[in-house]
Structure 1
Amino acid sequence: MTVKQKNKKKVLNCIRDHSPISRAEIAVKARISKPTVSMLVDDLIQEKLIFEKGIGESSSQGGRRPIQLYFNEKAFFIIGTDIGGTKVKTTICDLGGNIVASCSFKTVQYLKSGLLKQIAKEIDAMIDKNSIDRSKILGMGAGVPGITETNRGIVVEAPSLNWIRYPFIQEAKQFFTFPVYVDNDVNVAALGEQWLGNARNKRNVLFIAVGTGIGSGIIIHNQLYRGSTYAAGELGYMVTDKNEMKGDFTPVFHRYGYLESVAGGKAIGARLTKAVLEDPEHPLYAEAMESELPGEMAFKLAKTGDKTAMAVLAEAIQHLAYGIINAASLLNPEVIILGGGVLKSADLLLPKLTEIVNQYLPSSVELKISQLGDHAGALGAVSLFLREHETIFKI
């Protein structure tokens, strides 16, 4: 990258982060001479990456008011797709992370015929429906539920998709003309929260997703930490009760870890079912005899004051809290973001989790719920593209 390109990127980022802003203010913030700033601003206006609008406030000495510059978020678009075991959600965003179009479909419907082929169809339909100029699409980021070798674009293993060493990027080239990047879905969600959510402006972040399984995305010094074999953040494998582990412990699913087998959504449902079956007087006894109760049922019952459900949840919350304590002691993040399906009942979980975690940590940490919620994966995939692809917009 030449000096001019570096300065141009610096000026653009300055406008993106601080608009509306004047040329003089850019020169001060970016530490670039006024004539150079003016020349670069003219280039950026010509390329339609920024625009001028209105007039700013006059200076304290009076005089002409400076023209204000704005970042043109609509200059280009990026696609983000969140491929989950249950559904695939795809969005088209502008450069500011504003969702222009969004769609989703059930994973199982297209697992055999090809998920990428269907994603391509959905993208084409969204582009046509919203009259988006195809030449303005920079590329796509994707999040997948499994260990992913990001540098080679290979999904090592994604059990819910039946993918083993799946050549994601190679396959994507059949359907997409633009560049595509892929990473683990929880890593991607962590990037989304750092870009637009509750971890904004934080350089050390731990994102924990609690669903059927439990995983985490780790950002250290503003860089995603993936580990030596791209398997960092597998929080679900933490052991939070050595005695139970030494006994006849069996994971909730084949190859699942200890923590997700006692505090994940599926585990909560299984433990609730077992507890209800020990009480023939319980209103859900007959239902529990028929089939396993879902994890969500524990939260619904707990809100009504059901003691059985409250005891099951208290146990799961303790295990989850111990896992968070272990991870936070090691990583010392500025903020811990909690996401995933189980955290939809955050009002029941967060106060108790915070209480236990900060009771045992050497220094307290802020626990927050994902601000982006269901959009964390798709928006995070957009952020992944912005981080990985070499453009003037690179984060």
Structure 2
Amino acid sequence: MRSSKRTGSSQLVKKWNKEEILQQVIAHGQISRADISKHTRLSRPCVSALVEEMMREGLLQEVGRGDSRGGRKPILLEYNYRAYAIAGAVFDGLTLEMAVADLKGKFLVRYQKRLPQPANGELVMEALAQGFEEMMRECSLESERFLGIGVGLPGVTQRGSGTVSYSPSTGWMGSPIQQTIEERLGLPVIIDNDVNMMTLGEYVRGVGVGYSSVVYLYVGTGIGSGIILDGQFYRGSREAAGEIGFMMIGPEPARRDDASGVFETHYAAPGIMNKAKGFLSDLQVGSSVIEALIRCAKEEQAEAARLLDEVYRHWAYSMANIASILNPELLILSGEMVHIDDEGVKRIQDWLCEWVPVAPELKRASLGEQAGLIGAVHSVLEAFPSTRLLDR
């Protein structure tokens, strides 16, 4: 019995020591065994033995020699960011974006597929499985090398239960999406709203870096937002915070239970296109309706100028509402909003300064279609910190 306790205790101490070594290597980038011993206060023989074990496990690798301090040049160690991989996927209602990344979050392989409309849930699942298989083949990795996949999906996602409780476009209404994807792909899955994944991406790698309270605004086939307050996502009591497409902005239509919200009915991309069909009938699929309106307005087409002003003003109404309630430092403009030119951004900023006592800063998103993928990958990195790799 005592022997068992001693064995359990020694295994725990060994794991703690390996965690300390791993943290030192990650913190320094490249470091010698001697410097690890100095920083951790572990004996050199202990460090050498554990480092050898971690190299066999693939977590550490030797990367050459460092500068001499009077004796032989030390051999430097580095964290092997290719020891495992992470997958990310975002479906925005039209296009499925996927990527495989290393443990630094660097993309190794990307995959994109535009889905035929309407893209029901089964169609999305098939595309997700196909994309994952293609990426595994391209980067020559087996599924056992993946820590997990972060998946951003349209609708109200319930991360605790792993369900999507409201997603009219896909038909997922309370469906156990997380479990379904896990069974299909054979690896752990983290689901979230697609706009939340985009928000996280811009927050950790884009224009949101350095801010603590940010609201990310996305206009595409619908309208949504992601909310980060004091460095933490705000999701609301049932994880439906940020569904600003349901703001009562614009004429109120008769609404069915599965219909879009009032705001996005009128001022998401399809609604704007519907308003502009009389003079933008030749707009190509995939082109920006805002860029087209700006171009026509500069050519002094009165209808385009009036519609552009209407769209900007109603988008600004939503920003004023958000600023009045949440008082964020920054509003990130994405989707169709990223095509607003400098003059348009200034007009909206001036309106906000006129309408609300404390106007947030406005910045266009900088990461483009990568934002959601970066957020999806980062969500897995947060869930599987480096020290947990020692348990694999």
TM score, norm. by length of structure 1: 0.77
| Residue identity matched to 2:155 | G
> Aligned partners of 1:294 and 1:251: how far apart in 2?
27
Q: Which residue of 2 aligns with 1:99?
A: 107
- Alpha-carbon spacing, 1:196–1:50, altered in 2? closer, same or farther (3 Å): farther
* 1:354 alignment partner, SS class: helix
| Residue identity matched to 2:351 | I
Q: Which residue of 2 aligns with 1:225?
A: 234
Q: Which residue of 2 aligns with 1:158?
A: 167
- Alpha-carbon spacing, 1:270–1:88, altered in 2? closer, same or farther (3 Å): same
Tell me which of 362, 365, 382 is aligned to 2:377: 382
Counting only pairs closer than 5 Å after superposition, residues 248-267 of structure 1 correspond to structure 2 as 249=253, 255-267=259-271
Counting only pairs closer than 5 Å after superposition, residues 263-278 of structure 1 correspond to structure 2 as 263-273=267-277
Query: Is there any run of 5+ residues in structure 1 with no aligned partner, and where?
Result: 277-283
Contact 1:49 1:75 in 2 (8 A): yes
- Alpha-carbon spacing, 1:307–1:139, altered in 2? closer, same or farther (3 Å): same
Contact 1:22 1:68 in 2 (8 A): yes
- Alpha-carbon spacing, 1:369–1:49, altered in 2? closer, same or farther (3 Å): farther
Q: Is residue 213 of structure 2 the alignment partner of residue 204 of structure 1?
A: yes
Q: Is residue 59 of structure 2 the alignment partner of residue 49 of structure 1?
A: yes
- Alpha-carbon spacing, 1:11–1:299, altered in 2? closer, same or farther (3 Å): farther
How many residues were matched structurally?
369
Shift of 1:300: 3.6
Q: Is residue 330 of structure 2 the alignment partner of residue 335 of structure 1?
A: yes
Contact 2:168 2:259 in 1 (8 A): no
Counting only pairs closer than 5 Å after superposition, residues 358-369 of structure 1 correspond to structure 2 as 358-369=353-364
Q: Which residue of 1 aligns with 2:313?
A: 318
TM score, norm. by length of structure 2: 0.78
> Aligned partners of 2:93 and 2:148: how far apart in 1?
23
Tell me which of 276, 287, 295 is aligned to 2:289: 295
- Alpha-carbon spacing, 1:305–1:329, altered in 2? closer, same or farther (3 Å): same
Shift of 1:374: 0.9
> Aligned partners of 1:97 and 1:332: how far apart in 2?
31
Contact 1:210 1:343 in 2 (8 A): no
| Residue identity matched to 2:80 | N
Tell me which of 302, 319, 330 is aligned to 1:307: 302
Contact 1:251 1:261 in 2 (8 A): no
Contact 2:337 2:364 in 1 (8 A): no
Contact 1:147 1:230 in 2 (8 A): yes
* 1:161 alignment partner, SS class: coil
- Alpha-carbon spacing, 1:311–1:120, altered in 2? closer, same or farther (3 Å): same
> Aligned partners of 2:352 and 2:255: how far apart in 1?
25
Q: Which residue of 1 aligns with 2:42?
A: 35
Tell me which of 25, 29, 37 is aligned to 1:19: 29
Contact 1:55 1:65 in 2 (8 A): yes
Shift of 1:224: 2.0
Q: Percent identity?
A: 31
Q: Which residue of 2 aligns with 1:85?
A: 93
Query: Is there any run of 5+ residues in structure 2 with no aligned partner, and where?
Result: 1-11
| Residue identity matched to 1:76 | Y
Could you say what the CA RMSD is over the residues aligned between the two structures, in angstroms?
A: 3.8
- Alpha-carbon spacing, 1:36–1:252, altered in 2? closer, same or farther (3 Å): farther
